[in-house]
Amino acid sequence: MRSQVPTDIMKQPILIVEHLSKSFGNAQVLKEINLTVNEGEVLCIIGSSGSGKSTLLRCLNLLEIPDGGNILFNGVSLTIEKVKLNELRTKIGMVFQSFNLFNNLNVLDNVMLAQTTVLKRTKEEAKQIAIANLKKVGMDDFLQRSPQTLSGGQKQRVAIARALAMNPKIILFDEPTSALDPEMVGEVLQVMQDLAKEGMTMVVVTHEMAFAKDVATRVIFMDDGYIVEEGRPEEIFSAPKEARTKEFLKRVLS
């Protein structure tokens, strides 16, 4: 496995994954995953369905408990028992494929809830931060709307604002555009691209090859629970080394 990180974005590692493994029943979905995410990096994980990319992402904030291996976030191991998980999770944002906005709260309260309950911000402060972040994603005109009345793209942008409001060090995107109508994919990708430009560290599981090509600083190709190939987008997309990568890219790009 190539563990060399391209030198031009070589910075402090923010997330280190060592020998991670995970199985559901008899099926082992992650096998010996080693991964380093540096600050300011946009890491795209590609691969066919069932290759373990979503599971890997969900292990990174312990939504799935890994069976073995170690995850270090800012030098703190997440897998030891006495870690303050809820505190750490506020620093690891997550955006889901199915948005998962809280259905019982309106847009503003969706973005405010975790700020007031977990970070103990005052209501005014939380509201200010919420509105600022909603403005960033272009949803500040919809403060009082309930999630059910929004389109998919709007929901996903609110979900991104909700993650941003916690001032995370890193945001995990789990196929953020897969549940969207084609015409709404653009608005969400635009927001993500803006975030990348601002230097937010992002790990993105995606099927949007164009996004991976243009925005990612590094691309990982996963297959059958292994990281098969890893490198800069131009390397992966124009000159893949592994046979399985070639086959996958041929299928999705044609």
CB nearer to another protein: pick between 106 and 245: 106
Report how far residue 218's alpha carbon sits from residue 214's, in angstroms, rounded to the nearest whole number: 10
| 170, 132 Cβ separation under 8 angstroms | no
123 near another protein (CB under 8 A): no
CB nearer to another protein: pick between 88 and 209: 88
User: Would you give the binding string for another protein spanning residues 92-111, x where CB under 8 A is met?
Assistant: xxx-x-xxxxxxx-------
User: Would you give the binding string for another protein spanning residues 125-154, x where CB under 8 A is met?
Assistant: ----------------xx--xx-xx-----
Residue 102, helix vs strand vs coil? coil
Span of 20-28, 30-38, 61-69, 216-224 interacting with another protein by CB under 8 A = 61-69
What angle is formed at CA 70 by the lines to CA 65 and CA 74, rounded to 5 degrees? 105
Q: In the complex, what is the shortest distance from the CB of residue 9 to another protein, in angstroms, rounded to a whole number?
A: 26
Contact pick of 86, 120, 124, 251 for another protein (by CB under 8 A): 86
Report how far residue 161's alpha carbon sits from residue 155's, in angstroms, rounded to the nearest whole number: 10
| 94, 170 Cβ separation under 8 angstroms | no
CB nearer to another protein: pick between 162 and 244: 162
Q: In the complex, what is the shortest distance from the CB of residue 190 to another protein, in angstroms, rounded to a whole number?
A: 20
Tell me the residue type at 25.
Answer: G
Q: What are the b/e assignments for 126-140, b being 16+ CB within 10 Å? A: bbebbbebbebbebb
89 near another protein (CB under 8 A): yes
Report how far residue 234's alpha carbon sits from residue 216's, in angstroms, rounded to the nearest whole number: 10
Contact pick of 9, 16, 72, 113 for another protein (by CB under 8 A): 113
User: Quick one: tokens of 53?
Assistant: 């990319």
Report how far residue 44's alpha carbon sits from residue 218's, in angstroms, rounded to the nearest whole number: 6
User: Quick one: tokens of 54?
Assistant: 């979503």
CB nearer to another protein: pick between 77 and 98: 98
61 near another protein (CB under 8 A): yes
| Chain residues that interact with another protein, rule: CB under 8 A | 61, 63, 65, 81, 86-90, 92-94, 96, 98-104, 113-114, 117-119, 141-142, 145-146, 148-149, 159, 162-163, 166
